[in-house]
Amino acid sequence: MSFSTLGLSTPILDALKEQGYTNPTPIQAQAIPAIMAGKDVMAAAQTGTGKTAGFTLPILERLAAGKPAGANQARALILTPTRELAAQVAESVATYSKGMKLSSTVVFGGVKINPQMMKLRRGVDILVATPGRLMDLYNQNAVKFSNLEVLVLDEADRMLDMGFIHDIKKILKILPPKRQNLLFSATFSNDIRKLARGLVNNPVEISVSPPNAAAPSVEQKVYKVEKAQKPALLVQLIKDNNWFQVLVFTKTKHGANKLTQQIEASGFKAAAIHGNKSQGARTKALAGFKDGSIQILVATDIAARGLDIDQLPQVVNYELPNVAEDYVHRIGRTGRAGSTGHAISLVAEEEVKLLRGIERLIKKTLEVASLPDFKPLAKMPARSKSNAQPKPPAGRKPLARKPKPKNPTARKPATKADN
What's the pLDDT tens digit per position in 252-305?
Answer: 999 999 999 999 999 999 999 987 888 788 888 888 988 889 999 999 876 666
For the full predicted model, state whether its pTM sits above 0.85: no
Per-residue DSSP letter, 387: -
Supply the pLDDT for residue 280.
81
Backbone angles phi, psi at 170, to 5 degrees: -65, -40
Quote the strand ranges of 230-269, DSSP E.
246-249
Q: What is the distance between the alpha carbons of residues 57 and 11, in angstroms, rounded to a whole number?
A: 11
- pLDDT for 204 equals 94
| Pair type for strands 367-369 and 74-79 | unpaired
Q: How confident is the model over 21-66, as pLDDT tens digits?
A: 889 989 999 999 999 999 999 998 776 678 899 999 999 999 998 9
Give the N- to C-terminal CA distance of the chain in Å, as an integer. Answer: 47
The strands making up 104-107's β-sheet, listed across from edge to edge, are 104-107, 124-129, 74-79, 150-153, 180-185, 41-44, 204-207
365, with CB counted inside 10 A (0-12, 13-18, 19+), is: exposed
Task: Please say whether the beta carbons of 380 and 349 come within 8 A.
Answer: yes
Question: What pLDDT, on the 0 to 100 scale, is given for residue 374?
Answer: 82
Per-10-residue mean pLDDT of the chain, 419 residues long, equals 90 92 91 96 81 95 93 96 90 93 94 95 96 95 96 91 88 95 87 87 83 70 93 94 91 93 94 84 86 91 65 89 83 67 92 92 89 69 45 46 45 35
pLDDT of residue 379: 55
What is the predicted pLDDT for the residue at 351? 93
Residue 416: its pLDDT value, please? 35
Measuring CA to CA, which residue among 414, 344, 347 is closest to residue 377? 347
Q: Largest Cα–Cα distance in the chain?
A: 87
pLDDT for res 202: 92
DSSP for 185-214, please give it. Answer: ESS--HHHHHHHHTT-SSPEEEE-S-TT--
